Structure 1
Amino acid sequence: MSQEALHRVANLIQSAKHLVILTGAGVSKESGVPTFRDAMDGLWSQYDPQQLATPQAFEHDPRLVWEWYQWRRDLVHQAKPNAGHYALAQLEAQHTGEVLTVTQNVDDLHEQAGTRRIVHLHGNIARSKCASSCQGEPTIIDLNTLQTEDVPPRCPHCGAYLRPDVVWFGESLPPYAIARAIEASQNCDVMLVVGTSGLVSPAAQLPSMAAQRGAAIIEVNPESTPITPIAVAKLNDYSGVVLPQLLDAIGA
Structure 2
Amino acid sequence: MPDPAPRTELARAAELLRGADALLVCAGAGMGVDSGLPDFRGDAGFWRAYPPYAALGLRFAELADPVHFAEDPALAWGFYGHRLALYRSTVPHAGFGILRKWGERLPRGQWVFTSNVDGQFQSAGFERVAECHGSIHHLQCAGSCSDDIWSAEGLAVQIDPATMRAVGELPSCPGCGGLARPNILMFGDYDWVGHRSQSQLDAYTAWRRELRGANLVVVEIGAGQAVPTVRRQAELASAAGGGLIRINPREPEVRHGRGVSLPLTCLDALTELDRLI
Q: TM-score range by the shorter chain?
A: 0.7 to 0.9
Q: Which among 45, 54, 65 is matched to residue 76 of structure 2?
A: 65
Give unpaired runs (5+ residues) of structure 2.
157-166
Which residue identity is paired with 2:231? A
Per-residue deviation, 1:117 = 1.7
Q: Does 1:156 align with 2:174?
A: yes
Cross-structure match for 2:159: none
- Report the CA distance shift for 1:108/1:211 in structure 2 as closer, same or farther (over 3 A): closer
Cross-structure match for 2:51: 42
Which residue identity is paired with 1:34? P
Q: Which among 236, 239, 242 is matched to residue 263 of structure 2?
A: 236
The DSSP-based 3-state class of the residue aligned with 2:218 is strand
- Report the CA distance shift for 1:6/1:202 in structure 2 as closer, same or farther (over 3 A): closer
**Do the aligned residues in 2 keep the contact of 1:31 with 1:81 (CA within 8 Å)?**
yes
Which residue identity is paired with 2:264? D
Q: Distance in 2 between matches of 1:184 and 1:195?
A: 23
* Greater mean deviation of Cα atoms: 102-111 or 199-208: 199-208
Q: Which residues of 2 match residues 109-120 of structure 1 at below 5 A?
A: 109-120=120-131
Identity %: 26
1:151-186 deviation line (CA, Å, top 9, x unaligned): 422112221211122210123664334555566667
Q: Does 1:27 align with 2:31?
A: yes
* Greater mean deviation of Cα atoms: 105-114 or 57-66: 105-114
Which residue identity is paired with 1:163? R
**Do the aligned residues in 2 keep the contact of 1:155 with 1:161 (CA within 8 Å)?**
yes
Q: Does 1:176 align with 2:194?
A: no
Which residue identity is paired with 2:236? M
1:189-244 deviation line (CA, Å, top 9, x unaligned): 3211111113314333212322443551111122224x522362122211111202
Q: Does 1:53 align with 2:64?
A: yes
**Do the aligned residues in 1 keep the contact of 2:140 with 2:183 (CA within 8 Å)?**
yes
How many residues of Structure 1 are paired with residues of Structure 2 in the alignment?
247
The Cα RMSD (Å) is 2.9
**Do the aligned residues in 2 keep the contact of 1:51 with 1:57 (CA within 8 Å)?**
no
Cross-structure match for 2:93: 82
Q: Distance in 2 between matches of 1:59 and 1:229?
A: 43
**Do the aligned residues in 1 keep the contact of 2:26 with 2:231 (CA within 8 Å)?**
no
- Report the CA distance shift for 1:35/1:160 in structure 2 as closer, same or farther (over 3 A): farther
**Do the aligned residues in 2 keep the contact of 1:185 with 1:206 (CA within 8 Å)?**
no
Q: Distance in 1 between matches of 2:14 and 2:128?
A: 21
**Do the aligned residues in 2 keep the contact of 1:89 with 1:110 (CA within 8 Å)?**
no
Cross-structure match for 1:204: 231
- Report the CA distance shift for 1:220/1:6 in structure 2 as closer, same or farther (over 3 A): same
The DSSP-based 3-state class of the residue aligned with 1:229 is coil
Q: Distance in 2 between matches of 1:248 and 1:96?
A: 21
Q: Which residues of 2 match residues 213-252 of structure 1 at below 5 A?
A: 213-225=240-252, 228-230=254-256, 232-250=259-277
The DSSP-based 3-state class of the residue aligned with 1:9 is helix
Give unpaired runs (5+ residues) of structure 1.
none
Cross-structure match for 2:219: 192
- Report the CA distance shift for 1:99/1:209 in structure 2 as closer, same or farther (over 3 A): same
Q: Does 1:13 align with 2:17?
A: yes
1:17-59 deviation line (CA, Å, top 9, x unaligned): 3321101111101211113453432212221222221222221
**Do the aligned residues in 2 keep the contact of 1:102 with 1:121 (CA within 8 Å)?**
yes
Per-residue deviation, 1:143 = 4.2
The DSSP-based 3-state class of the residue aligned with 2:255 is helix
Cross-structure match for 2:160: none
* TM-score normalised by length of structure 2: 0.76
**Do the aligned residues in 2 keep the contact of 1:87 with 1:247 (CA within 8 Å)?**
yes
